[in-house]
Amino acid sequence: MSLKDGCIAEYVWIDGYNGLRSKARMLSEPPSKFSDLPEWNYDGSSTNQAPGVNSEVIIKPQAIYPDPFRGTPHILVMCDTYTPEGEPIPTNTRYECAIAMDTIKEQEPWFGLEQEYFLINPATGKPIGFPEEGEPEPQGPYYCGVSGSKMFGRDIADAHFKACVYAGIKISGTNAEVAPGQWEYQVGPAIGIEQGDMLWMSRYLLERIAEMKGIDVNYDPKPVKGDWNGSGCHSNFSTKAMREPGGYEGAIVPALEKLGKKHAQHIAAYGSGNEERLTGRHETASIEEFKWGVADRGASCRVGSDTAEKGCGYFEDRRPAGNCDPYVVTKMLVQTCCIDP
Ligand code: ADP
Ligand code: MN
Ligand code: MN
Ligand code: MN
C-alpha cells in the first residue's frame, strides 16, 4: 500500500465531555462511495464513554469532507458512536437527530448556526489580548474591529474560514465579536442533519488550526466573568412553509408560540452554564422567561425585520449557548416546531 494511490482518513467523533477526538488511518484507495469506508473503533474508557471492562466503542462514518490540512485526496470523516451490539451510546445525539430530520424531511428544515468562541492563551487561561494583570479596554472597539492593538486572532479566524471552504462546509461568514479575542462564524443555511455534522466538523477544524498556534478554543457561555459578553450559538431556523409567501403569519408565529410553551425543555438542552449568559444583559434575554420579537436582540427568539416585512423567511433562536450540541439544538427545534402537536 502506498500513499500514491491510497488516502489518509481522519475519523472524528464526539467524546464523553462534549468535545472532539480523532485518529487517522490509511485506506488503500480513496473511497469512491460512502460504503467503501470501514467502521472503526476506539477505547471508550479513555474518553469518558465506556466502563473499563467492555470499553470498545464502534464509530460509523456519517459524512466525508476533503481534508484541508493534508490536501487531496485525504479526507475527514464525521462519525457517530455505537456499542459493539450496535446500540447508539448515550452521547450519540446524532442518532435521534437524524431520525427527527428524516421524519420531517419533506418540510425541508434549514438551519444557520452562529458559533461564538473565545481564543484562550493556555499560559494565562485568559483570552488572547487580555493582559496578564487586570483587564483590557472595555467592550466597544472590538466588534467587527480593525486595529493592531485591539484585534487578536484574526489569522486563526481567517485560516478557519478558508479551511471550512476547502472542506465543503457551508460556512457563510465570520466576524470579530464584542470582547477581545472573541470571534464568530456562521454555518448555514444547511439542511437537516447536515447542520449538526458540519458545525461539529467546523469546530474540529477551528481547534486544529488554533492548536498549530498553541492556542485553545473555548465555547463556554460565560468564560470571562464581569462586564464581557458570553458566547452563544444563535440558531436560525426555517421550514419550506416559513420561507414561502405567508410563512411569517402561517408558520413562523405558530412555531414561536409552540417554543414559548417548551421554554424550560429547550433551555435544558441548549448547553451547560447558560444561566450565566442569559441574564437579560449583553444582548440576551433572561433565562427565566420566553419572549419573541421583531428585530429585538433582547428577545429569546428574534424575527428579522426583512422576514416581517416580506411576510416570510426564518427566525433566530438566540438562547443556545456556545457549547451547545448542534445535534440536540436542531433536533429540539424540529421536534417542538414540526413534530409535536
Ligand atoms: P445575525 O444578524 O444574527 O448576526 P448572521 O448573519 O450571523 O445573523 O447569521 C445568520 C445565519 O442564518 C447564517 O448562517 C445564514 O446562512 C442563516 N440563514 C439565512 N437564511 C436562512 C433561512 N431561511 N433559514 C435558516 N437559516 C438561514
Ligand atoms: Mn451573527
Ligand atoms: Mn454574534
Ligand atoms: Mn444572531
In the chain, how many domains are there? Answer: 2
Same domain assignment for residues 334 and 226: yes
Q: Are residues 166 and 49 in the same domain?
A: no
Find the 116 Cα to ligand 3 centroid distance in Å: 6
**236 ligand 1 Cβ < 6 A:** yes
**Is 96 within the bounds of a domain?**
no
Quick one: 73 and 155 in the same domain? no
Q: Same domain, yes or no, for 111 and 246?
A: yes
CATH number at residue 114: 3.30.590.10
Q: Which of 186, 214, 220, 325 is nearest to 269 (CA)?
A: 325
Task: Choose one of 70, 91, 112: the last residue of a domain.
Answer: 91
Contacts of 16 (CB under 8 A, 6+ apart): 44, 47, 48, 49, 91
Q: Are 75 and 10 in contact (CB under 8 A)?
A: yes
68 lines ligand 1 (CB under 6 A): no
Q: CB–CB of 242/255 below 8 Å?
A: yes
What grid cell was written down for 135?
483587564
Q: What is the pLDDT of residues 71-108, one digit of tens each?
A: 999 999 999 999 999 999 999 999 999 999 999 999 99
Centroid of chain to Cα 220: 12
Hey, whose CA ends up nearest to atom 11 of ligand 1?
Answer: 112
**Are residues 117 and 81 part of one domain?**
no
Q: Are residues 64 and 185 in the same domain?
A: no
Last residue of a domain, one of 68, 91, 114: 91
Q: Clarify whether residues 124 and 13 are in a common domain.
A: no
Please indicate, yes or no, if residue 1 is contained in any of the structural domains.
no
pTM of the model: 0.97
> Quick one: which of 118, 231, 224, 116 has its CA closest to 181?
118
* Mean of pLDDT values over 110-126: 97
Q: Each residue of 181-226: pLDDT tens digit?
A: 999 999 999 999 999 999 999 999 999 999 999 999 999 999 999 9
- Domain edge (last residue) among 91, 120, 140: 91
Full domain range(s) for residue 40: 7-91
* Residue 195 falls inside a structural domain: yes
Whether 18 is covered by a domain: the verdict is: yes
Asked if the structure places residue 2 within a domain, the reply is no
Q: Is 188 in the pocket of ligand 1 (CB under 6 A)?
A: yes
Task: Give yes or no: residues 236 and 327 share one domain.
Answer: yes
